[in-house]
Amino acid sequence: MSKTEPHQFQAEIQQLLNIVIHSLYTDKEIFVRELISNAADACEKFRFNQSSGQPVHQSDIAPGISITTDDKAGTITIMDTGCGMTHGELVENLGTIAHSGTKAFLKQLAEDKKPDVGLIGQFGVGFYSAFMVAKKVTVLSHSFAPDEQGWQWTSEGMGGYELTPAADLPRGTKITLELKDDAKEFAQEATVEGIIKRYSSFVPFPIELNTKRQNTVQAIWARNKSEIKEEEYNEFYTFVGHDHEKPLFRLHFSADAPLAIQALLFVPQRNFESMGMGRIDSEVNLYCRKVLIQAKAKGLFPDWLRFLKGVVDSEDLPLNISRETMQDTSLLQKLNKVLTSRFLKFLDEQSEKEAEAYEKFYTEYQRFLKEGIVTDFTHKEALGKLLRFESSLVDAGKRTSLADYVKRMPSDQTEIYCLLAANRAAAEASPYFEVFKERKFEVLFLYDAWDEFVVEHLHNLEGKPLKLAEKADLNLSAKKDGALSEDAVKALTAWLKETLGDKVGEVRASQRLVDSPAVVVDSDKFMTASMRRIMKAMKQDGPEPAAAKHDFEINPAHPMIARLEATRQKDAALAASVAEQILDNARVAAGILEDPRAMLTRLNQLLEKVLAKD
């Protein structure tokens, strides 16, 4: 006697279904693509398990997909002879959140007034798109694992689903959709045929529609480039990338040495990691002579290229290689190196040939390039060439490469200067920028929190050392008029050190200031303020790391400093207060003033004095 088990959907799935059922009216047809893609994944999984020598249920049934439409009954059925699902897998896969997908997708829907349903597959919740068109979904499934039984899963979307044992099922999964009244067109063969053509031509398993074969499985990457149409590439990308947009970049290449490789790689328009998806996984499939060795192959590319999608085919791979042994073969490492170098060279070429597309690429993916520089010694140099930054000599909003920067360097400039700042306005107003402006040396403006580490790791580019502006050992070209005499400077700096005491390291006359009265400089040649902040944030327990000692540099040509020298002889208390304020102002400019309260109290007292003057 079969017993029906009622189950509840997890709350987030319920929420997702609510939206899918009640508010998504466009692009309904994508459910066909999603269910076929799941069927293809299941076939792939079956083929892999079979080829690795595991015992499988009904090993004589080849993996494949067949679709039937019944316009009288108003149904469409997608059946596959793939891996199927056990009771546990049905509960796990069709009712709970697989990963962060549901949440991320819901967030995307909530943020966007015209939600992009096409993305549903990207977020790993494609199955539920069935409920856009179906009032009831029935899944019959029998796992490939021996000694399992068949199960029937049914749901009307809201509320939950039911599981019942089902006898005499073939291996695989059969999904029947009872279509809603306004979705009956999907019970028409012609409609469905068009959709399969559009989305699923490249599925590497045979697809039949009402017993007619639909796709001819082709390895597009193995064909001659000149014979492949743009649309074919894009269709293939839709299939491998699970993405309905066109790719941003495409690289199709073949090589003979040092390894025989055919590769077709794509960069998606958008960086899915920045869309709340969490960490994405590489979606490059590894083939050997058109036979899939590993889907989403691990180790084929470095981690920082995990946004790539596509196919790599290498004849040099042993066909019987298993997933486990793949991990550590030196062959894989060799492949990785060749592929990565080739892709970076491609990016470099694109930056010249397709400047606009490269700009978009850089905006989306710069963090990945930087991750590479910091974590991957091998490709550091090539990655450095791909960096782009705003700079004091290019218009706001435009970026320059380091190579172009080096070309513009005057002969007396030996280093590449980088200034960390929140934005362009802050960079241009920074006291650290003054000496560069006066000397007419170009400075790169770095706005990203990661840039400091990038500069640290890159160290050198195009034969020139990279230098943070605040660490640069540069002097103004000429002494300024009206500057304090050397004796006066000596007396003032001594007095300042006495007055400020431990709050500062050394006090000296600055060689780098034009418009600002003073600046603080980290006394550690290598440490910077932002690095200290990060270190502090990382060190949660235990004693505070030693506070930074900052040297205090004054601008002897600044009227405020000249007045300070005069005032300290008449009104030492007022001068001391002003000196502390100048120091705090310099700390603000450096972004290292942690608690501004004491500073504000003092500033208010000073203002009061100014107003009381007359």
The residue ranges that bind Mg ion (CB under 5 A) are 38, 126
- DSSP string of 510-558, one letter each residue: -SS-SS-SEEEEESSSS--HHHHHHHHHH--SSSPPPPPPEEEEE-TTS
Site string for ligand ADP, 170-189 (x = CB under 6 A): ---x----------------
Of residues 249 through 308, those in contact with ligand ADP by CB under 6 A are none
106 binds ligand ADP (CB under 6 A): no
42 binds ligand ADP (CB under 6 A): yes
Q: Which is nearer to ligand ADP, 99 or 440 (CB)?
A: 99
Please choose, from the candidates 500, 593, 595, the residue with its C-alpha nearest in 3D space to the C-alpha of residue 551: 500
130 binds ligand ADP (CB under 6 A): no
313 binds ligand ADP (CB under 6 A): no
438 binds ligand ADP (CB under 6 A): no
Q: Give the integer Cα–Cα distance in Å for 200 and 39.
A: 11
Residue 84 CB, shortest distance to ligand ADP, in Å, is 6
310 binds, among Mg ion, ligand ADP, none (CB under 5 to 8 A by kind): none
64 binds ligand ADP (CB under 6 A): no
Lookup: tokens for 341: 């170098």
SS3 at position 444: strand
Q: Give the integer Cα–Cα distance in Å for 389 and 445.
A: 6
Contact stretch for ligand ADP (CB under 6 A) within 69-77, 120-128, 319-327, 418-426:
120-128
- Counting Cα atoms < 13 Å in the Cβ hemisphere of 209 gives 20
Sole binder of ligand ADP in the list 17, 19, 85, 509 (CB under 6 A): 85
Lookup: tokens for 72: 């009288």
39 binds, among ligand ADP, Mg ion, none (CB under 5 to 8 A by kind): ligand ADP
Let me know: does 534 contact 456? Beta carbons within 8 Å: no
Rg for the chain (alpha carbons), in Å? Answer: 33
Q: Which is nearer to ligand ADP, 125 or 444 (CB)?
A: 125
| Crossing angle of the two packed helices 572-590 and 597-612, in degrees rounded to 10 | 130
Residue 41 CB, shortest distance to ligand ADP, in Å, is 6
Please choose, from the candidates 234, 301, 295, 314, the residue with its C-alpha nearest in 3D space to the C-alpha of residue 266: 234
**Cis bond before residue 258 (omega within 30° of 0):** yes
Sole binder of ligand ADP in the list 125, 207, 261, 265 (CB under 6 A): 125
Residue 14 CB, shortest distance to ligand ADP, in Å, is 15
Lookup: tokens for 144: 């490939």
Of residues 2 through 41, those in contact with ligand ADP by CB under 6 A are 34, 38-39, 41
Q: Which is nearer to Mg ion, 173 or 401 (CB)?
A: 173
Q: Which is nearer to ligand ADP, 38 or 366 (CB)?
A: 38
Residue 83 CB, shortest distance to ligand ADP, in Å, is 6
Q: Which is nearer to ligand ADP, 86 or 493 (CB)?
A: 86
The CA distances from residue 611 to 420, 466, 559, 573, 605, in Å, are: 37, 47, 20, 17, 10
Let me know: does 174 contact 79? Beta carbons within 8 Å: yes
Residue 96 CB, shortest distance to ligand ADP, in Å, is 10
Terminal Cα distance for the chain, rounded: 101
Q: Which is nearer to Mg ion, 237 or 249 (CB)?
A: 237
Lookup: tokens for 216: 């001819």
- The secondary element (H helix, E strand) that includes residue 87 is helix 87-93
Residue 439 CB, shortest distance to Mg ion, in Å, is 59
431 binds, among ligand ADP, Mg ion, none (CB under 5 to 8 A by kind): none
Pairing of strands 249-255, 261-267: antiparallel
127 binds ligand ADP (CB under 6 A): yes
126 binds ligand ADP (CB under 6 A): yes
Residues of this chain that interact with ligand ADP (CB under 6 A) are 34, 38-39, 41-42, 80, 82-85, 93-94, 98, 124-127, 173
